[in-house]
Amino acid sequence: MTNNKSEEFTSNQQKIALYAKVLSHPARVAIVELLAKEKEIKTGNISVDLPISRTTVSQHLKELKEMGIIQGNIDGLKIHYCLNMERLNEIKSAFNSFFSKTISDHKCSCDC
């Protein structure tokens, strides 16, 4: 029996946490930045620009693809990856909304 309490949080809280989780590894952040710069990259070429193995790159690509942050088109033995701008704009909007609600008019009452 599992004691999973995540269902007790709002769908928005769960969504923000999931976005943060998928972007919580510096390699995934680097992949997103690389794709933003290059627009499209073949699978094997991503590991050339990062200090990790192809196998590790593939694992990170899988996480990003499952979240919909990137998308890929198969071309023979290679996959061409690019950013899914619709999903990235959705994530940006979710984080902007989260931070604007969280920090607007917040005044700390402690003496730190």
- CATH number, domain with residue 44: 1.10.10.10
Overall domain count for the chain: 1
Measured CA to CA, the distance from residue 26 to residue 60 in angstroms comes to 10
Is 77 domain-assigned? yes
Domain hosting 31: range is 10-87
41-53: pLDDT as tens digits:
877 778 788 888 8
pLDDT digits (tens, 9 = 90+) for 66-101: 999 999 988 888 888 999 999 999 999 999 998 887
In a domain, 17, yes or no: yes
Phi, then psi, of 81 in degrees rounded to 5: -105, 145
In a domain? residue 41:
yes
pTM, whole model, 2 decimals? 0.81
CA 90 – CA 95 distance, rounded (Å): 9
Identify whether the C-beta of residue 57 lies closer than 8 Å to the C-beta of residue 46. yes
Q: Does 109 fall in a domain?
A: no
Position 34 in a domain: yes
Is 31 a residue whose pLDDT tops 70? yes
Is 99 domain-assigned? no
